[in-house]
């Protein structure tokens, strides 16, 4: 079925007739006669298998699998084996910048404030790792170095670094879900924000009244009062308040919270109409035009920064801005309410948990210290032995005592005689006299 042909220079070839009746040739090159005969045997097996539509012998199948690509191509060219499928070109690796841009583009549900926070994290990531770096080359060790860079080189505060680490966890968690990574390199970073006592500040009522007096209009007085006396988050909860949310007859109002709305049952909460709020709410209500929806109608544009405006008001009032303008107001109110009402009620009104309140809101104020220092003693300690003896001696020496009263003598320093302290009985006395005699 197949024969060996000899060419000049010691080259050999295999000649055979294929199933379609055509004579075909496989050039072997410079090989020995024994090698050429082995190839001829396998070629005959392959031709027979093709003619009978059966699988070739196992030995021939193993021989075909072990052939180098060049020989497989020669057998495929004459129809003895199937042509090898071309290997797919490797897909270009996803770069960090491309992934982050795609993530942000496909998440229209992200709130504006969260988008800003993620944008800051993305800037730090791309500046440190470069946007063209393949995302699967970032390791946990690289994540540790990035965190150290934020703290050391950039000098960010510890809580700021924790927030950026939390955002990086969120971004790379999405990369793991897209099968771009097998593990999240940022998962080991600390991301829980801790309370910072250095930035705590209690805004007293006297200071609050100075600020209210310096506010330019009724709406600004209401904004400040809602934060200081209502404990609302600003700007999200303050600007979201509508006149329909004010339930005058029930003595409460509804606060819609974008920050907690993704938690079931935390979309809104009820807050009492505290007496400190009522004058400012009534004033704004009287000035509101008919059909007005929102309680705060001005300062709603994105380019209007309420923090900048509050700093100007504080400057006009002759006050120094406190560390966290609106959060300190909210913390002050929670601290104030916690002195009067149960903590579970206060947390429900302000829309946070006890753990968060203890870590970030509740403060020890100067009033607490003052009240503690003036607590009267519940008991007087008993005087020591020397003081008791002195008082007893003084009483014994008073002139109004009966004349037959014995003078006081300290038993601790009186020497005891032979007869001891007890009176001598007759029996003991006579017995003692006998012994002495």
Phi, psi (rounded to 5 degrees) for 16: -155, 165
Higher pLDDT, 322 or 396: 322
pLDDT for 166-215, tens place per residue? 999 999 999 999 999 999 999 999 988 877 788 889 999 999 999 999 99
Question: How many C-beta neighbours within 10 Å does residue 182 have?
Answer: 7
Say if CB 200 and CB 157 are below 8 A apart.
Answer: no
Give Cα 404 to chain centroid, integer Å: 84
The two tokens of residue 326 are 């609106």
Q: Each residue of 414-434: pLDDT tens digit?
A: 454 554 444 554 444 444 444
354-367: pLDDT as tens digits: 888 887 778 888 88
The answer to whether residue 349 scores a pLDDT higher than 80 is yes
For the residues 12-21, what does the mean pLDDT come to?
A: 81
Question: What was the pLDDT predicted at 129?
Answer: 95
Q: Which pLDDT band, with edges at 50, 70 and 90, does 95 fall under?
A: very high
Neighbouring C-beta atoms of residue 234, cutoff 10 Å: 20
State the pLDDT at residue 376. 59
* pTM attached to this predicted model: 0.57
Q: 244, 226 in Cβ contact below 8 A?
A: no
pLDDT of amino acid 429: 44
Question: Cα–Cα distance between 345 and 297 in angstroms, integer?
Answer: 30
Arithmetic mean of pLDDT, 59-68:
86
Is the pLDDT at 48 greater than 90? The verdict is: no
Are the beta carbons of 285 and 244 closer than 8 angstroms?
no
∠ CA 297-300-304, nearest 5°, is: 130
Percent of the chain with pLDDT strictly greater than 70 = 84
Range scoring the smallest mean pLDDT among 19-28, 301-310, 370-379: 370-379
**H or E stretch including 290?**
none
CB 267, CB 240: distance < 8 Å:
no
Confidence of residue 39 (pLDDT cuts 50, 70, 90): confident
330 pLDDT higher than 90: yes
Average pLDDT over residues 321-332: 93
Report the mean per-residue pLDDT for the chain: 83
Is the model's pLDDT at 229 over the cut of 90? yes
Distance CA 276, CA 209 (A): 11
Q: 3-class SS at 78?
A: coil
Q: How much is the average pLDDT of 253-257?
A: 94
Give residue 262's pLDDT band: very low, low, confident or very high (50, 70, 90).
confident
pLDDT at 258: 85
Local structure of 253: helix, strand or coil: strand
Nearest to 205 by CA among 229, 222, 227: 229
- Alpha-carbon distance values, 175 to 15, 192, 362 (Å): 57, 22, 38
Give percent of the chain with pLDDT exceeding 90. 48
Give the range among 108-122, 130-144, 416-430 with minimum mean pLDDT. 416-430
Q: Is the peptide bond before 235 cis (omega within 30 degrees of 0)?
A: yes
Q: Is the pLDDT of residue 347 over 70?
A: yes
Task: Calculate the alpha carbon distances from 333 to 2, 268, 278, 396 in Å.
Answer: 99, 19, 16, 61
pLDDT of amino acid 64: 83
Average pLDDT score over residue span 130-156: 94
CATH of domain 96-194: 1.10.150.130
Which position has the higher pLDDT, 192 or 272? Answer: 272
Q: Where is mean pLDDT largest: 7-16, 100-109, 299-308, 390-399? A: 100-109
Residues 6+ apart with CB under 8 A from 39: 14, 26, 28, 31
- Report pLDDT for 4: 81
Please give the structure tokens belonging to residue 284: 């704004």
DSSP string, 111-178: -HHHHHHHHHHHHHHHHHH-TTSBGGG--HHHHHHHHHHHHHTS---HHHHHHHHHHHHHHHHHHHHT
Please report, in angstroms and rounded to a whole number, the separation of the first and last CA atoms in the chain: 155
pLDDT digits (tens, 9 = 90+) for 210-224: 999 999 999 999 999
pLDDT at 35: 85
Examine the pLDDT at 306 and tell me if it is beyond 70.
yes
For the chain, give every domain's residue range.
2-77, 96-194, 198-369
Q: Which strand ranges, in their side-by-side order, compose the sheet holding 11-17? A: 2-6, 11-17, 23-30
Q: Please report which helix (H) or strand (E) contains residue 382, including its range.
A: none
pLDDT over threshold 50, residue 375: yes
pLDDT at 372: 83
pLDDT at residue 124, as a whole number = 95
Residues 4 and 294: their CA atoms lie apart, in Å, by 97
Q: What superfamily in CATH does domain 198-369 come from?
A: Intergrase catalytic core (1.10.443.10)
Rounded-to-integer distance, Cα 367 and Cα 140, Å? 48
What is the pLDDT, as a whole number, of residue 89? 67
Residues 6+ apart with CB under 8 A from 181: 135, 136, 172, 175
Cα 288 from chain centroid (whole Å): 41
Q: Label the pairing between strands 23-30 and 2-6.
A: unpaired
**How far, in Å, CA of 226 to CA of 255, rounded?**
11
Nearest to 146 by CA among 189, 207, 90: 189
Q: How confident is the model at residue 309 (pLDDT cuts 50, 70, 90)?
A: very high
């Amino acid at each position: 079925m197949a024969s060996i042909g000899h060419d000049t220079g010691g080259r050999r070839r295999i000649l055979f007739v294929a199933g379609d009746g055509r004579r075909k040739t496989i050039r072997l090159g410079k090989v020995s006669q024994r090698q050429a005969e082995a190839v001829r045997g396998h070629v005959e097996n392959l031709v027979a298998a093709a003619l009978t539509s059966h699988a070739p012998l196992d030995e021939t199948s193993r021989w075909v699998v072990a052939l180098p690509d060049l020989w497989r191509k020669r057998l495929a060219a004459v129809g003895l084996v199937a042509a090898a499928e071309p290997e797919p070109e490797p897909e270009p690796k996803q770069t960090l910048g491309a992934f982050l841009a795609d993530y942000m583009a496909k998440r229209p549900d992200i709130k504006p404030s969260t988008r800003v926070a993620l944008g800051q994290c993305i800037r730090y990531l791309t500046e440190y790792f470069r946007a063209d770096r393949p995302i699967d080359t970032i390791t946990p060790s690289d994540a540790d170095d990035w965190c150290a860079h934020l703290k050391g080189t950039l000098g960010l505060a510890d809580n700021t670094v924790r927030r950026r680490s939390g955002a990086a966890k969120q971004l790379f968690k999405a990369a793991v879900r897209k099968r771009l990574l097998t593990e999240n390199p940022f998962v080991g970073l600390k991301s829980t924000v801790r309370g910072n006592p250095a930035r705590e500040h209690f805004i007293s009522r006297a200071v609050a009244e100075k600020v209210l007096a310096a506010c330019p209009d009724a709406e600004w007085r209401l904004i400040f009062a809602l934060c200081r006396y209502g404990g609302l988050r600003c700007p999200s909860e303050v600007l979201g308040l509508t006149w329909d949310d004010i339930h005058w007859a029930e003595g409460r109002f509804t606060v819609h919270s974008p920050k907690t709305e993704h938690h079931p049952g935390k979309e809104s909460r009820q807050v009492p109409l505290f007496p400190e709020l009522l004058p400012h709410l009534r004033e704004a209500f009287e000035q509101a035009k008919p059909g007005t929806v929102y309680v705060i109608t001005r300062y709603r544009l994105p380019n209007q920064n309420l923090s900048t405006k509050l700093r100007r008001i504080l400057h006009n009032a002759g006050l120094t801005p406190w560390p966290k303008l609106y959060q300190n107001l909210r913390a002050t109110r929670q601290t104030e309410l916690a002195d009067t009402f149960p903590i579970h009620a206060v947390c429900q009104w302000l829309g946070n948990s006890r753990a968060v309140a203890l870590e970030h809101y509740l403060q020890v104020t100067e009033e607490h210290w003052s009240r503690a220092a003036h607590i009267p003693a519940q008991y007087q300690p008993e005087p020591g032995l020397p003081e008791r003896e002195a008082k007893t001696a003084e009483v014994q020496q008073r002139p109004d005592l009966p004349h037959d009263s014995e003078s006081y003598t300290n038993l601790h320093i009186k020497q005891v005689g032979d007869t001891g302290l007890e009176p001598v009985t007759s029996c003991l006395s006579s017995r003692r006299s006998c012994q002495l005699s």
